[in-house]
């Protein structure tokens, strides 16, 4: 399926909506704590406004092809399941299979998978997830994503 859209206009509208959503949900924080988030909000809002203006005056509609969108929807579903699973199962127990599966999916595009590929994907996933867990818990002092299973 093909669809002609003004992507700059839509991106600008989406960016401004996202900026407004985060702006009105900032809460009460001190000045020093709000410097970085406020700076990011200003930058996202400014870039979105530029995209909106370009979309109104200078943009040509872009033809988007949705051929092969099924794999993207499956990926979005897997990421949503991971996000929901963190709360109930834990960060480590959901992230290791996710990262290993994503690595295998990317490797599979290059050709058939060998048993060695499974071991490498699992090892890389363990190192990446273990690194994130260590940084959050020991370096930053945050016990991330507590759930019944680590």
| Contact (Cβ atoms closer than 8 angstroms) between residue 95 and residue 125 | yes
Which of the listed residues 15, 35, 67 is the one where a domain comes to its end?
Answer: 67
The reported pLDDT for the residue numbered 108 is: 81
Report the number of distinct structural domains present in the chain: 2
The predicted-structure confidence for 113-149, as pLDDT tens digits, reads as follows: 889 999 999 999 999 988 988 888 888 777 766 665 5
**29/18 same-domain check:** yes
Q: Give the alpha-carbon dihedral of 101, 103, 109, 110, to 10 degrees.
A: -140
Q: Give the global pTM.
A: 0.55
Which structural domain, as residue segments, surrounds residue 107?
68-149
**46/7 same-domain check:** yes
Q: 């363990």: which residue's tokens?
A: 126
Which of the listed residues 67, 100, 125 is the one where a domain comes to its end?
Answer: 67
**113/53 same-domain check:** no
**98/44 same-domain check:** no
Which of the listed residues 40, 67, 94 is the one where a domain comes to its end?
Answer: 67
The reported pLDDT for the residue numbered 145 is: 61
Alpha-carbon distances of 68 from 1, 3, 79, 106, rounded to whole Å: 10, 14, 18, 15
Cα angle vertex 123, ends 119, 129, to 5°?
145
**92/114 same-domain check:** yes
Q: Distance between CA 90 and CA 96 in Å, rounded?
A: 11
């Amino acid at each position: 399926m093909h669809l002609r859209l003004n992507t700059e206009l839509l991106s600008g509208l989406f960016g401004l909506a996202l900026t407004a959503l985060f702006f009105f949900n900032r809460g009460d924080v001190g000045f020093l704590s709000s410097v970085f988030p406020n700076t990011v909000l200003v930058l996202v809002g400014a870039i979105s406004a530029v995209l909106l203006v370009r979309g109104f005056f200078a943009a040509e509609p872009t033809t988007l092809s949705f051929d092969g969108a099924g794999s993207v929807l499956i990926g979005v579903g897997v990421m949503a399941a991971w996000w929901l699973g963190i709360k109930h199962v834990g960060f480590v127990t959901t992230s290791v299979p996710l990262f290993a599966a994503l690595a295998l999916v990317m490797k599979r595009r290059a050709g058939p998978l060998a048993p060695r590929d499974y071991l490498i994907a699992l090892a890389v996933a363990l190192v990446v997830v273990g690194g994130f867990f260590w940084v959050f818990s020991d370096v930053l002092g945050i016990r991330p994503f507590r759930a019944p299973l680590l």
